[in-house]
Amino acid sequence: MKSTLIKDTTKEERIALIREWLPDEDGLEADGGMDLWDLYVDYINGTKEIAECNAAFSTNYMTERDLAEGKLKN
């Protein structure tokens, strides 16, 4: 498997990788209305590695129960 690190890929290759990883065009919006392309824009632009984008998403994820209980992450 080829490296997915920014230093080893071009912007076009990163876009192609994201297209492989995300569902088809009809499924690009996650529950709650978030466009999944927005999650990876920093990776595509070469400012954050894919692992950093995934980690940022998972640390900000809140369930409906969290919201109902008033749990807010800062």
- Under a CB-based contact definition with an 8 Å cutoff, are residues 51 and 4 in contact? no
**What is the model's pLDDT at position 27?**
47
- The residues spanned by each domain of the chain are 6-68
Span 15-71, pLDDT tens digits: 999 999 887 655 455 555 567 788 899 999 999 999 999 888 766 666 777 777 776
**What is the model's pLDDT at position 14?**
95
**What is the model's pLDDT at position 72?**
59
Cut 0.75: pTM above it: no
**What is the model's pLDDT at position 56?**
82
| Phi, psi (degrees; rounded to nearest 5) at 35 | -75, 120
**What is the model's pLDDT at position 31?**
52
